[in-house]
Amino acid sequence: MGTFSSTDQELAQALIDLCQTHSYQKISIQALTKKVGLNRQTFYYHFDDKEELLKWIYLRDLEYLGPEMTLANWEEQVLLLLKAIRQKGVFYQKTTLGAADVFSQLFSKQIQQRFIDLFAHLDEERQLSAQDKDFYSAFFAFGCAGVLLKWIRGDYQEMPLEIAAQLFRLAKDVEWFGSRLYDE
């Protein structure tokens, strides 16, 4: 995701820590900068606003779903993401309630690319249009985002391995059904 400074990390940790006792909406830039001993201008040198900081934190965790993620390591990478989310449990619960669309949009965008890669792998004969690949991958990505939001907001009832295995089976089933369609 590029370079980041220790100040970026300190501000991120301040937001994560403050979410333990405050709702995301109630946390101000002033509270963040006070927690790390910086002035407001320093915050704005690093981030445009609190939502950009939130996106930065989410994207750091979503790196597990980056281009190096393949069908072969899908379950392992998703498991790493789920463990990172669960480790910051209250933070994710409060921020997905306070900034509902931010997580969904970032996660969907990241996982949609992995499904596009999967469909490209399956479509060796190039029978699917780019429009179909985009639609199918968006459909699965938003579904996966919904599953994660339900898990986060439901107080992490399932173990990360269980959710990772379910998402992996989804990807494998798509591969299996896709290959059957081509065989017919």
Q: Angle CA(147)–CA(150)–CA(153) in degrees, nearest 5?
A: 150
CATH of domain 6-183: 1.10.357.10
Q: What mean pLDDT value characterizes the chain?
A: 89
Burial bucket for residue 155 (CB in 10 Å: 0-12, 13-18, 19+):
exposed
pLDDT at 161: 94
Q: What is the crossing angle of helices 74-87 and 130-153, to 10°? A: 40
For the residues of 83-148, what is the DSSP string, one character each? HHHHHTHHHHHHHHHHTHHHHHHHHHHHHHHHHHHHHHHH-TT--S-HHHHHHHHHHHHHHHHHHH
Per-residue pLDDT reduced to its tens digit, 146-184: 999 999 999 999 999 999 998 888 877 877 766 665 555
Per-residue pLDDT reduced to its tens digit, 33-76: 999 999 999 999 999 999 999 999 999 999 998 888 887 888 89
Query: Domain-by-domain residue ranges, the chain?
Result: 6-183
